[in-house]
Structure 1
Amino acid sequence: MSYNPSIRLTSGEHVEIVDRTHLPFHRIGRLGMGASAQVEVVEEPTTRRRYAHKIFTPYYGHTLERFKKEVQNEIAIIKRLRGHPHIVNVEWSYACGRELGILLTPVASDGDLSAYLYEIRVPQDGGSNGNGGVSSATREQRAVLVKAFGCLASGLAFMHGLKIRHKDIKPSNILVHNGHMVYTDFGIAKDLVGMNTMTSGKPGGFTDRYCPPEVAEWDPRNRKSDVFSLGCVFIEIMAVLFSDARELAEDRTPYRKRLQDVQGTLIQCSVADFDLRQLFVVILGMVEEMSEDRVGATDLVDCLMDLKMPCAESLFCRQCGGT
């Protein structure tokens, strides 16, 4: 890819490009690939600033018009959410023939949450560390994970306050950057401004493991479906922090299909009144089978704010409520 200084990378701008080789950045490396897009790291030569370059191409069953509409929807939603410290930013976008692309920040320093949790659970040498083959988090990693609860709740409350549903919350759609959690991948997110926040019918897509019952059954659903999915993510974080919750995350059965066991374990884990165990009760209110019984995102933030944490730990970073 050659650098063309005539095309400027102006923040927030969308441009039409005739020749892809003239994109105003250099490719550094590959980050990953999904069903409809691939992501790579690129660098703008003048500023040396790096971006996550998400490249969309039409896929089977989608007309070019529908494909462009879906990508434009993702761009518009992320731009609406701009400014929250735990939500990814769109810096620039372009169209080049049948390809659409966006530049996103940040480029996660520690990958996504799924990989981050895996690296803590599994020792680098693949051996046992005396804790059932599951490695313990370092003090720094623990601090990052503890703050994840408040920061992710804050980000979700911000989305829901703008009547936006993410619809695919899972560890691989959460970045870990410089110790902070950042929501990404709004490909199937929905902006419900001016619309009924309750939807029904066949879902546009979902991830089975973190999917709430009402989405899987095509029942009416609302923003509390996101709360259920985030509750499942919280369970997987707690499974790294507390060995007695480990089995909840190791079982690959979707959480909604074993809710009774999940809820029973959460109650058992919460009985000792010390450290972070009070969080198990909060999570219990997030993974209720019926959406009307679940805590809302704003109330979730309030619940976490009210928890009395050890003085050395905080559930929120300074940017979204920590001290």
Structure 2
Amino acid sequence: MAKTVFGFPVLEQQDPEALGGFRAVARLGKGGMGQVFLALSPGGQPAAVKVIRGEFAADPEFRRRFAREVATAQKVRGAHLAPLLDADLENEQPWLASTYVAGPSLRDLVTGHGPLPAEQVTLLAWGIAHALSDIHAAEVVHRDLKPGNIMLDESGPKVIDFGIVKSLTQSATHHSGSTRIGTPLYMSPEQALGRPVGAASDLFGLGSTLYYLATGEEAFAAENQWAVAHRIVADHPDLGTLPAPLRELIAACLHKDPDQRPTPRQVQARCETDLGGTPFPGAWTTITGAHEAIRQRTGALRTLTAPAKRTGTDHREAPVTHPPTVLDASRRERAGATLPAPPGNTAGSVPSTPQNSSDTASKATATKNTGGSIPWGGVLATLILFALITNELWWPHVRQWLAEYTTQSTSTASPAQPGSLSENDLVACQNAGQAKNRASKRTAMGSSDEQNAQSDIEAVTVISNAAQQADDPTLRSQLSKLAADLQNEADAYSQRGRDRQAGRDTTMATNSIASAGRSIATDNWIFAYRPCPIVG
């Protein structure tokens, strides 16, 4: 049995120490394409790095096809995807790195806890369909959607290994003569028959996945792969025990005719009807077994990578020194600082930063020279009066700001006061702040709705990763909410873009953008004070 450390299989002596800028720290598993490693980027972010098997790497045609597909897949971004970060297909050992999702696969959840309730399956269907919509928008087909290729973290399901199956299977076909592509149990009828496949094939895989989540059984299980293929083409699974809405959704996805299957957007619309709206932040951790599984994975990840980031330990005999990052100096200065409470937090006061005697004396002198503290109430009143006199159009903005400030000040649902911030928390704050700043600046430049949506989605990916890396549970929750609010804004921008192209009224989408923007504004207190500022 392979030795493990903190739940991860340890590296073996023949394993590479570094792949490009990524430093391997543990094994994650082995698949048809090759060995997968848990690795750290130069900035200390975890990634899943897949090293391609030698027989594929030795095939020049495979390398050419694979390079094209990786280049396309790298352009795919979405809140429910684990995006490709980097790849080196010219290396003697070709590899590709994607964002590591610190959570269980959906197969792990069902294996450990049994079938999921219908409402939870519908919730997951919404997130997976969201991912497929982003994949198909880039003219990519996954071809191997299954429970094992869908991970779950605090911000929702994350689809992995998209857009990179075709080249692998074509190389295998060259040697085996088989024309089928994908995992047999989750193939579509057109895949099983060796016919060309399109986006609708992924919807069939979605139907088979949802059936497994709801029943704990494979939709087309049989004694061998040939019998499985026959059942996929000619048989129908028993859906009689499932509630009507979920039964109808799965049946629609499993239609034998690809032209009759719903699109990902239509699946999302069905799910929103059944759920009563879009999922709320934090909904994903209510899924059976998800909260504890995510907590264990994130805890194991932090325990494994924290020593590695500080000392270079990779749990082998010879440690590998990891070069310090640009942020190391500021981390050392700021480690141990505390996250402030939001404005109006009645649960506790903002911890003060220790000051030396000279700072205290300087502050006392400054106060004496100015005759006391600044009368902020008078300043605010003067500014409001000036706005009213100089430009009456300013008043709606002032009124909105006052309403938001009042809401924050009187809220009884203030988050719990967090404890001391670790280095991971500080880095998470900085990465999230930079991502949000970039998205805000691009939006302010008057970009198109499509560009604004893409900017928000890129920020969501970074902030979701930052939430995974944060040690403080309150900070993780706050960053997850910010990611959810940005995702809502991205969805609203995308909808307005589609409405404009179709010549439809854009009022509803515009209002949704404004509503999401207000929610994002109320998240700003996370970054309003040191030591967790927005760095732009």
Q: What do the CA deviations read for 1:19-56 (whole angstroms, capped 9, x no partner)?
A: 97584343211111122221110124x63221111112
Residues 216/113 of structure 1: CA separation in 2 closer, same or farther (3 Å cut): same
Q: Which residue of 1 aligns with 2:153?
A: 177
Q: Which residue of 1 aligns with 2:64?
A: 69
CA RMSD of aligned residues (A): 3.7
In 2, are the aligned partners of 1:167 and 1:188 still within 8 Å (CA)? yes
Greater shift after overlay, 150-159 or 19-28? 19-28
In 2, are the aligned partners of 1:255 and 1:262 still within 8 Å (CA)? no
Name the CA distance, whole Å, in 1 between partners of 2:282 and 2:270: 11
Identify the structure with the greater strand proportion: 1
Name the CA distance, whole Å, in 1 between partners of 2:31 and 2:258: 29
Letter in 1 for 2:241: C
In 2, are the aligned partners of 1:211 and 1:256 still within 8 Å (CA)? no
Q: Which residue of 2 aligns with 1:115?
A: 108
Aligned with 1:28 (options 22, 25, 30):
25
Name the CA distance, whole Å, in 1 between partners of 2:43 and 2:93: 25
Name the CA distance, whole Å, in 2 between partners of 1:304 and 1:258: 25
Q: Which residue of 2 aligns with 1:269?
A: 241
Name the CA distance, whole Å, in 1 between partners of 2:90 and 2:279: 51
Residues paired across the two proteins, number: 261
Aligned with 2:204 (options 211, 228, 238):
228
Letter in 2 for 1:34: G
In 1, are the aligned partners of 2:40 and 2:46 still within 8 Å (CA)? yes
SS in 1 for 2:255: coil
- After the TM superposition, which residues 137-148 of structure 1 pair with which residues of structure 2 at under 5 Å, given as runs? 145-148=121-124
Residues 248/99 of structure 1: CA separation in 2 closer, same or farther (3 Å cut): closer
How far has the Cα of 1:189 moved from its partner?
Answer: 4.9
- After the TM superposition, which residues 12-27 of structure 1 pair with which residues of structure 2 at under 5 Å, given as runs? 23-27=20-24
Q: Which residue of 2 aligns with 1:13?
A: none
Aligned with 2:96 (options 98, 102, 105):
102
Q: Which residue of 2 aligns with 1:210?
A: 186
Q: What do the CA deviations read for 1:45-96 (whole angstroms, capped 9, x no partner)?
A: x632211111124416x753223224323422321212x0111212222356
- After the TM superposition, which residues 75-86 of structure 1 pair with which residues of structure 2 at under 5 Å, given as runs? 75-82=70-77, 84-86=78-80
In 2, are the aligned partners of 1:167 and 1:226 still within 8 Å (CA)? yes
Residues 93/85 of structure 1: CA separation in 2 closer, same or farther (3 Å cut): same
Q: TM-score, normalised by structure 1?
A: 0.67
Letter in 2 for 1:288: H
How far has the Cα of 1:156 moved from its partner?
Answer: 0.9
Name the CA distance, whole Å, in 1 between partners of 2:229 and 2:180: 20
In 1, are the aligned partners of 2:73 and 2:140 still within 8 Å (CA)? no
In 1, are the aligned partners of 2:17 and 2:23 still within 8 Å (CA)? no
Name the CA distance, whole Å, in 2 between partners of 1:316 and 1:78: 28
Name the CA distance, whole Å, in 2 between partners of 1:219 and 1:250: 19
How far has the Cα of 1:175 moved from its partner?
Answer: 1.8
Residues 178/189 of structure 1: CA separation in 2 closer, same or farther (3 Å cut): farther
Residues 113/20 of structure 1: CA separation in 2 closer, same or farther (3 Å cut): same
Letter in 2 for 1:39: V
Name the CA distance, whole Å, in 1 between partners of 2:90 and 2:212: 40
Name the CA distance, whole Å, in 2 between partners of 1:255 and 1:179: 35
- After the TM superposition, which residues 181-200 of structure 1 pair with which residues of structure 2 at under 5 Å, given as runs? 181-186=157-162, 187-189=164-166
- After the TM superposition, which residues 21-60 of structure 1 pair with which residues of structure 2 at under 5 Å, given as runs? 23-44=20-41, 47-59=43-55
Name the CA distance, whole Å, in 1 between partners of 2:90 and 2:118: 44
In 1, are the aligned partners of 2:18 and 2:24 still within 8 Å (CA)? no
Letter in 2 for 1:151: G
Which of the pair has more CA radius of gyration?
A: 2
Q: TM-score, normalised by structure 2?
A: 0.43
Q: Which residue of 2 aligns with 1:6?
A: none
Letter in 1 for 2:51: I
Q: Which residue of 2 aligns with 1:280?
A: 247
Q: What do the CA deviations read for 1:164-190 (whole angstroms, capped 9, x no partner)?
A: 211111111112223521111132259
How far has the Cα of 1:292 moved from its partner?
Answer: 2.3
Percentage of identical aligned residues: 18
